[in-house]
Amino acid sequence: MSCSNSENSPNKAGESESSTDVLSDTWIAHIWRRMVGLYGHKWGSQYGRAISENKQLSGLARDWQRGLTGVTAEQLKVGFAALEKAIFAESGESWPPAWPEFRKLCLSSGRDNIPTIDEVVSMLVMAKSRQGSLAVRYRHPLVLAIAQADGMDMLFLHSAKTPEARAYIRPVYEKLLGAGWADWPEHAYENTKGVGRDLPVPDKELGRKAFSGFRASLGMKQIADKLQGNDG
């Protein structure tokens, strides 16, 4: 399960997350933003806006509010993780769920929705060319957490072969599986054109050194020497 950042939660002081609670209007608006980030115009064409012109929840939003009664914040994260994994598996061709389907995903085992290490490698590589928000590009908060990890060299990752990339990220992947990772930041659903403010500016020289060092650690010293200009 991912870890929650309280400042990114729509909960307000005094709101409870007990199993009998109806989600607040703030939570429903938050769900709408998440769904728009995942499905774009598909969500809007199917469900419209969460808040109507009179500043109240729309009829469809009220249906979701009633349908998700008793679902907690942690369970919502499980549901969204399941949607993100399904969207990735179907190359973005998924359509938005109805509330009964989403409720079922929320109440499922969150462990089943964690991307595998091979899926993480693919998501990280594809994130560079994918346009849209952080959530659209990275698909899962675990993937973003790995991209932001100290010392993570995305230049090396994009140039490495799959077995090398898998070996490279495995220590970070396994560490985060044990310790947990942060949920999406609030701006994760804002559309941006570049890599964004969440990732460090790449250092090409550092990337070359990391690449050659990693190859050397696999016993390919001659390749590493060539990359460093030490042909002898």
Q: What residues make up the domain containing 133?
A: 115-201
Q: Is residue 152 part of a domain?
A: yes
Both tokens assigned to 45: 């064409």
Q: How far is CA 33 from CA 176, 191, 227, in A?
A: 26, 12, 46
The residue with greater pLDDT, 120 or 231, is 120
For residue 130, tell me if it sits in a domain. Answer: yes
Is 59 a domain residue?
no
Asked if residue 132 belongs to a domain, the reply is yes
Q: In this model, does residue 163 exceed pLDDT 80? A: yes
CA 204/CA 206 separation, integer angstroms: 5
Q: Is residue 140 in a domain?
A: yes
Half-sphere exposure of 123 (CA within 13 A, CB side): 30
Average pLDDT on 126-138 reads 82
Q: Are 107 and 75 spatial neighbours (Cβ–Cβ below 8 Å)?
A: yes
CA atoms lying within 13 Å on the CB side of residue 156 = 24
Split into its structural domains, the chain has a count of: 1
User: What is the reported pLDDT for 53?
Assistant: 82
Range of weakest confidence among 28-32, 192-196, 226-230: 192-196
pLDDT tens digits, one per residue of 41-51 = 999 999 999 99
Whose tokens are 């399941």? That residue is 82
Is the pLDDT at 93 greater than 80? The verdict is no
pLDDT given at position 126: 87
Mean pLDDT of the chain: 77
In a domain, 158, yes or no: yes
Predicted confidence (pLDDT) per residue in 105-126, tens digit:
988 865 667 888 998 999 898 8
C-alpha 155/C-alpha 166 separation (Å) is: 14
**Which residues, in sequence order, are bridge partners of residue 192?**
132
Cβ neighbours around 55 below 10 Å, total: 7
Greater confidence (35 vs 115) lies with 35
pTM of the shown model: 0.52
Q: Is the pLDDT of residue 210 over 80?
A: no
Amino acid 26: pLDDT? 92
Distances (CA, A) of 36 to 107, 117, 138, 200, 217: 22, 27, 15, 27, 44
In-domain check, residue 176: yes
Q: Which of 123-137, 140-154, 181-195 has the lowest mean pLDDT?
A: 181-195
Give domain status of residue 19, yes or no.
Answer: no
pLDDT tens digits, residue range 3-29? 433 334 454 433 334 445 889 999 999
